[in-house]
Amino acid sequence: MGLRFLVVEGNTRHARQAHKASYGLTQGESYAAVLQEIEPASLCDIALPADEGANLPDPSGLQSYDGIVLTGSYLNIYDRTPEILRQIDLMRAAYASRTPVFGSCWGLQVGAVAAGGDVQRNPLGREMVFARRLTPTEAGWGHAMLAGRPAAFDAPAIHLDLVTALPGDCTVLATNAMAGVQAAEIRQDGGVFWGVQYHPEFSLGEMAAILGRRGPTLLEEGFCRSPEDAAAFIADLQALHDDPARFDLAWRYGLDAEILDPARRTREIRNFIEARVKPEKSARGRA
């Protein structure tokens, strides 16, 4: 019997449609595809808590899943709009269900706020395209989520906000110069959450699609000097996605197998499945 996942899409309908128009899939659909590539027999449902009137599971319903995954989002959690509050409430229910949960970027922020932490805008600005020199903390070195990662590594990333106040029972597992919390384990109401501020689920092709919609941001925030520079960079990312053996492009942008090899790039998700989802499924008598 395959694993059953709930993918919680963090975006509003408009943002989902924009992502699908540029990439062919919503972020939720893309994340589900990553899970099914890792575990081909798995089944994935997608929840849309940003939508008013969405039919969302309660703690009992969440217990029927072997794992829950939270995607990224274009929202800012400190705005506390109804679209956001529904997601925080759903995360609190996920903690109470004691079902293993993993979150990327926005997912980490929701997991932190739902447990009593805080998230604000990063005073250092946006971390764009790649999170560089991610370094495990002392606790991170022995933690199953980062098993197989080297002493320093890069990962796809795009975020302006970051966790600024830790929840009560939180262990920071990785950090870098841009964010003090790049990976963490949070425990709340008997539940355990693993989250990262970066995006191990994003391929370079998906990142290229996102940047294609964010050309003005690349220019306004100084990442590129001209529209032509931005277009060339996006084209290089797509070319490297299509052919990871392009040493010239990998060298140009300082990328190694931690990003170019899909199995290594998605390491945290794979570790979540092996160390949290499968053992918990067995413990619940569903193996």
Q: Annotated catalytic residue: which of 44, 199, 241, 258?
A: 199
Cβ atoms of 197 and 181 within 8 Å: the answer is: yes
Residue 159 is a catalytic residue:
no
3-class SS at 23?
A: helix
The dihedral built from the CA positions of residue 77, 80, 81 and 82, taken in this order, carries a sign that is: positive
Residue 199 is a catalytic residue:
yes
Which of 215, 232, 10 lies closest to 106 in space, CA to CA? 10
Q: Annotated catalytic residue: which of 9, 39, 44, 105?
A: 105
For residue 55, how many other CB atoms are within 10 A of its CB? 8
Residue 14 is a catalytic residue:
no
Whole-angstrom CA distances from 148 to 130, 154, 180 are 19, 13, 21
Residue 118 and residue 112: Cα distance in Å, rounded? 7
Please report, as a single letter, which amino acid is at residue 211. L
Q: Annotated catalytic residue: which of 201, 206, 258, 268?
A: 201
Residue 273 and residue 287: Cα distance in Å, rounded? 13
Cβ atoms of 166 and 172 within 8 Å: the answer is: yes
Point out the residues that are catalytic: 105, 199, 201
